[in-house]
């Protein structure tokens, strides 16, 4: 059992000055040690002395370097891959008229009615003539049904559906009801219910013969409505030039039916819906471009969801100088 002994010693003033002004080195030969310090020092020296034999290694220096570079089990190892991504250049284009309205360029009429503005902004007549009527007739013939449809009949069909959105009844057949408290002559007088049902049954927007295999990694789940999405995106951007400041965000379309693309978001006001990615003017809310979220991509290199959406919707803005 060791005892804590306190040793007292005195120094003269000249010794203190000598210690303060002295230039000490690491050499221990000049140290003044008493008997106890000398004993401890000799024990440390005897304990620290040992014989070490160094044998020549069997591996070459290059092999030792490679071995030392191998990650240990406790250190994470990252395998970096090359990416062909190139940053988008959003430099400002000289002479670009941000937010210029081109609706007046779509029609020669000096007086614009709401219907004319709707047709100019959406290209509705072109959509009916070049996509809906043609593909609906093709779809009926592919299924062995005799079916004819004119542009005016198709426009009337969509007009009736617009009214049904805000004038809701239990079923669409209720609009042709003979009950005075149920029937809607404003709709029933446009076309018979049999004609309405026939158009509704054969309504189509794409050619099924061009549909890719569902096992294809790049299969588009929105193939059935992709021509309509592309048409509206082109029409919206043609009706008005891009504004300086824009925003990209999601938009939910309420839907409670069964569909693989339907999303369920627990903490959203609309929990079951189709999710749309939208690029719109940040001040007016005018929609320039949108796309339907169809789920995680199965093919190709996919970046983060938010990053891929922003890059996709802002691809047409390169060189203009917009702010997202």
Q: Could you report the per-residue pLDDT of 71-116, keeping only the tens digit for each?
A: 556 777 778 877 776 666 566 667 788 888 888 776 666 677 888 8
Mean pLDDT, range 235-258, rounded to an integer: 92
Query: Tell me, what's the pLDDT at 27?
Result: 47
* Same domain assignment for residues 125 and 192: yes
Confidence of residue 62 (pLDDT cuts 50, 70, 90): low
Contact between 206 and 226 (Cβ < 8 Å): yes
* Same domain assignment for residues 248 and 312: yes
Tokens of residue 84, six digits = 């062909």
Residue 255's Cβ-count burial label (10 Å; 0-12, 13-18, 19+) is middle
* Same domain assignment for residues 197 and 249: no
178 belongs to a structural domain = yes
Q: What percent of the chain has pLDDT over 90?
A: 44
DSSP3 helix / strand / coil % (the chain, rounded to 5): 40, 10, 50
Query: Tell me, what's the pLDDT at 32?
Result: 53
Contact between 273 and 252 (Cβ < 8 Å): yes
Mean pLDDT, range 239-256, rounded to an integer: 92
Residue 200 CA from chain centroid, whole number? 34
Tokens of residue 27, six digits = 């050499």
62 belongs to a structural domain = no
More confident residue, 90 or 261: 261
Structural domain boundaries, residue 113: 106-208
| Residue 252: strand pairing partners | 275
Winning range, highest mean pLDDT, from 26-40, 196-210, 307-321? 196-210
Has residue 263 got a pLDDT over 60?
yes
**How many separate domains does the chain show?**
2
229 belongs to a structural domain = no
Dist. CA 229–CA 220, nearest whole Å: 13
Residue 322's Cβ-count burial label (10 Å; 0-12, 13-18, 19+) is buried
More confident residue, 318 or 171: 171
pTM, two decimals, is: 0.68
Q: Which tens digits make up the pLDDT trace of 128-148?
A: 999 999 999 999 999 999 999
* Same domain assignment for residues 123 and 199: yes
* Same domain assignment for residues 252 and 204: no
Neighbours of 254 (CB within 10 A): 10
């Amino acid at each position: 059992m060791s005892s804590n002994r306190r040793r007292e010693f005195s120094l003269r003033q000249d010794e203190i000055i000598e210690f303060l002004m002295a230039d000490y080195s690491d050499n221990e030969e000049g140290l003044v040690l008493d008997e106890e310090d000398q004993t401890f020092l000799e024990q440390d020296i005897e304990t620290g002395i040992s014989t070490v034999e160094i044998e020549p290694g069997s591996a070459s220096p290059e092999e030792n370097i490679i071995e030392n570079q191998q990650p240990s089990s406790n250190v994470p190892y990252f395998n970096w891959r090359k990416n062909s991504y190139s940053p988008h250049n959003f430099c400002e284009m000289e002479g670009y008229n941000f937010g210029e309205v081109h609706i007046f360029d779509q029609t020669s009429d000096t007086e614009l009615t709401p219907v004319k503005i709707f047709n100019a902004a959406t290209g509705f007549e072109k959509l009916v003539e070049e996509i809906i009527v043609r593909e609906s007739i093709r779809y009926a013939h592919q299924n062995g049904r005799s079916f004819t449809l004119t542009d005016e009949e198709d426009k009337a069909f969509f007009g009736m559906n617009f009214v049904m959105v805000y004038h809701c009844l239990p079923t669409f057949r209720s609009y042709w009801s003979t009950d005075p408290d149920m029937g809607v002559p404003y709709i029933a007088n446009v076309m018979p219910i049999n004609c309405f049902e026939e158009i509704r049954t054969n309504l189509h927007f794409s050619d099924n013969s061009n549909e890719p295999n569902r096992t294809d990694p790049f299969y588009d789940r929105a193939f059935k409505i992709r021509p309509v999405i592309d048409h509206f995106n082109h029409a919206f951007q043609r009706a008005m030039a891009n504004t300086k400041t824009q925003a990209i965000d999601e938009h939910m379309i309420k839907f409670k039916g069964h569909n693989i693309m339907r999303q369920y978001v627990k903490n959203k006001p609309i929990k079951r819906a189709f999710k749309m990615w939208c690029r719109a003017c940040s001040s007016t809310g005018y929609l320039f471009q949108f796309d339907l979220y169809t789920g995680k991509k199965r093919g190709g290199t996919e970046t983060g969801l938010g990053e891929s959406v922003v890059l996709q919707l802002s691809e047409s803005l390169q060189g203009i100088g917009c702010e997202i």
